[in-house]
Amino acid sequence: MSEEMNQVEVKNFEIGDQVTGQVTKVEEKQVIVNIADSKLDGIIPISELSSLHIEKASDIVAEGDELDLEVLKVEEDALILSKRKVDAQKAWDDLVQKFENGVVFDAEVKDVVKGGLVVDLGVRGFVPASLVEAHFVEDFSDYKGKTLAFKIVELDKEKNRLILSHRAVVEEQKGKQKQEILQSIEVGQTIDGKVQRLTDFGAFVDIGGIDGLVHISQLSHDHVERPSDVVEEGQQVKVKVLSVDRDNERISLSIKDTLPGPWANISEKAPKGSVLEGVVKRLVSYGAFVELFPGVEGLVHISQISHKHIGTPHEVLKEQQTVKVKVLEVNEQDQRLSLSIKELEEKESEIPADYQMPEESKGFQLGEMIGDQLKNLKK
């Protein structure tokens, strides 16, 4: 086509016209297209290919692509065109609908910049760092190229401002999960959980979208000084549901109730006749309670404390004293142990008070005693 004919045809177009063009050549910083229904060429500068910054035109288009374009400038023999403006207009119409209806949609993270992430939705969408996740993220470098679900939280077409949030989607999903769990969970259930955080009074455990509290008294059968002595953050645990307050969204859990009790298999740990070491925990009028294992105490009845007659256990024992005991009886079901200290002590060699001496022996001894006294008087 001659230059004169080009100039004539160019005059048929005005700034703002919408045209379709087929890519005939992709250069580094611009793209050449043939305008549909004409033999006129158009030029798309690299800056007009995308709402995002791009290094080379081939990252966006290839030869043969059909593009919807807008006329930016009418030159003497060519048109300067924009793909970006058409994409943006289409995008804004779609984005306004998404924003008004609270639609959740997937999009790829195109870039990581200072302060957040960039997403290309036909227009540049920005995700502030605080709206990426519900938890703190120190380094966002591996988010580039990731596809995430987003909601639009702020939209201003005039200022070309589009703010997105992935955090809002995450929190919305968590909210739904939380309600589902609150409605389905039952007291007495044993479920798997993950320790989320520790406090002075216990541990919060995630049971699939909602946290429940394991009070420090429910962490172990043993006495616990600090929750960190028993569990750690990130640990997988089994918990039993103690109570559910759906109105206040509170769940009480127990790890202790999922563990074997201290009395489990006590018949094997403390069989009848065995000798064990324990600590005197309590003294009462009728005996002493001795702890053999954490949470397992047995009774040494006052009659089993000593071979000597004693009025109270305090006469021979004191609390926190370590003693050796013999197991007399084991009742695992009723959680009772009968113990003896006396059976491990040697009997004193003394004549029982009720012992009857033989008659002959009595007479013999008496005669000897009288004879000895007479001899002494004669002297």
CATH assignment of the domain containing 294 = 2.40.50.140
Same domain for 211 and 253, yes or no, is yes
Question: Can you give the length of the chain in residues?
Answer: 379
Residues 220 and 289 in one domain: no
Q: Which of residues 136, 170, 204 is at a domain's end? A: 170
Residue 285 has pLDDT above 50, yes or no: yes
Residues 58 and 12 in one domain: yes
Same domain, 43 and 117: no
Residue 242 is assigned to a structural domain of this protein = yes
In a domain, 204, yes or no: yes
Lowest-confidence range among 35-39, 231-235, 245-249, 279-283?
A: 35-39
Residue 367 domain-assigned (yes or no): no
Q: Are residues 38 and 111 in the same domain?
A: no
pLDDT at 351: 44
Q: What is the mean pLDDT of the chain?
A: 87
pLDDT of 123: 87
Buried b (16+ CB within 10 A) or exposed e, 244-265: beeeeeebbbbbbbeeeebbee
Q: Specify the amino acid at residue 317.
A: L
Q: What is the pLDDT of residue 60?
A: 87
Model confidence pLDDT, tens digit, residues 241-278: 999 998 888 999 999 999 888 888 888 889 999 999 99
Total domains in the fold of the chain: 4
> Do residues 245 and 294 share a domain?
no
pLDDT band at 5 (very low <50, low <70, confident <90, very high): very low
Q: What is the pLDDT of residues 89-143, one digit of tens each?
A: 888 989 999 999 999 999 999 999 999 999 989 889 999 999 999 888 989 999 9
Domain that holds residue 219: 186-258
Distance of CA 35 to the CA centre of its chain: 59
219 inside domain: yes
* Percentage of residues of the chain with pLDDT beyond 90: 60
Domain assignment present for residue 357? The answer is no
Asked if residue 374 has pLDDT above 60, the reply is no
Alpha helices in the chain (DSSP H): 3-10, 84-101, 167-184, 266-269, 359-378
Q: How far apart are CA 379 and CA 367, in angstroms?
A: 19
Residue 355, in any domain of the structure: no
CA 167/CA 134 separation, integer angstroms: 5
Q: What is the pLDDT of residues 130-176, one digit of tens each?
A: 999 988 898 999 999 999 999 999 999 888 899 999 999 999 988 88
pTM: 0.51
Q: Please check whether residue 373 lies inside any domain of the structure.
A: no
Q: Give the Cα-Cα-Cα angle 266, 270, 271 (nearest 5 degrees).
A: 105
Rounded average pLDDT over 347-368: 48
How many CB atoms are located within 10 Å of the residue 27 CB?
12
pLDDT of 83 over the 90 cut: yes
Q: Is the pLDDT of residue 379 over 80?
A: no
Q: Is residue 320 part of a domain?
A: yes
List the structure tokens of 257.
Answer: 């109730």
